[in-house]
Structure 1
Amino acid sequence: MTVYVDDAVTLWRGHRWAHLMADTLEELHDFAAQLGIPRRAFQDKTSGAHYDVTAQLRERAITLGAVAISRHHDRALMRRVIANARVQGRREAR
């Protein structure tokens, strides 16, 4: 199983943000907890199951073993990860 962090550079509230996603929800929640992200920060909206992470937390996630993926260079992998996150988000909402 794998945890992924994209290279999203969304600027919001003075920070650049990325998305933390994983092959399973359990793995996603466990990894987020390792980063000190509270469970209430979990998002499962239309963009899929993920946590938003600052650029600084993105680097820490990579250090802890998350796989960095690029929306520009890893398009096929990125589509698969996002599709999986959307399915997970729908499951979590039940």
Structure 2
Amino acid sequence: MIRDLYNVRRHPAEGGPTPLTEDEERRARTTLFNELGTVVAEHGWVRFPAHSPEERRRLVEVAHRLGEYWGRPVHVEAEDQCALRLFLDGYGTPPAA
């Protein structure tokens, strides 16, 4: 017997990230925009984990959108292999402790 498969997506290789649908991606960026934007507005900077290239691209896009919304640049800097830092002018790289 042959069965038709509807709404089935391929799974990535074991251990790889699962791609988000367009709606999930939009909701993720909106949530990051609101949550990270609040912290940056209050403290001038925020650190957020980004383990994959997709997550890094998403955070860079969020920083760009925040900059457009506020009318001032929001910079992005890699802290290490697993985290990015979003910050406003004057809150750049902290001095080494």
TM-score by length of 1: 0.32
- Higher share in strand: 1
- Name the larger-Rg structure: 2
TM-score, normalized by length of structure 2?
0.31
- Tell which has more relative contact order, 1 or 2 (C-alpha 8 A, sep 6+): 1
